[in-house]
Amino acid sequence: MVCIVYISLLIYIILERKGKKPAWQLPAMLLLYAVVYGYVVFYRVRYNRPFAILVPFWSYYRVIRMGLCSPAWWLAREIIQNILLYIPLGMVLACAFRKRRLLYPLLTSILLSFLTEIIQYYTRTGIAEFDDIFNNILGCLAGSLIILATWKRIYRKEKIPGNIPEEETI
């Protein structure tokens, strides 16, 4: 999904550079992300009671302490999956918000992660964890930085002043 969103947004940036910005592409990417996100996050086996782990960075500690060769390898996989899940959102939000390419994706990821953890706790479809919120924020920021770097690279090829207006930078 990350590759599909990145390629689509790369086309979006190139078309925007040529003045042919498609109005449907960002909403379509957000809809695709919402469907995949809802399926991945909420279509799980329900627990008998709500679970919450609010100890910060407990999964990192356990992975570092026990290593990847131990039964804690699934924690490393969960960390990576949580980061990867939010990279497409960061990419789309970085294209959608012109003035604050990192601030608005950061705030959106904090809000969405927090709401997701609350919903998972009350619906018992997952474990509410501080680490998930942190990993999701990392993923969203990584996606935003990928798009920002791509944007700079595409617009850097032309040395004409005014390619990237002042309000569109970080």
Domain boundaries along the sequence of the chain: 2-41+52-158
Mean pLDDT to the nearest integer, 66-87? 82
pLDDT, one tens digit per residue, over 15-70 is 777 777 777 777 888 888 888 888 887 777 777 777 778 888 888 888 888 876 77
106 vs 168, residue with greater confidence:
106
pTM of the model: 0.78
Phi, psi of 133 (to 5 degrees): -65, -45
Residue 139: pLDDT band with limits 50, 70, 90: very high
Residue at token pair 């927090």: 114
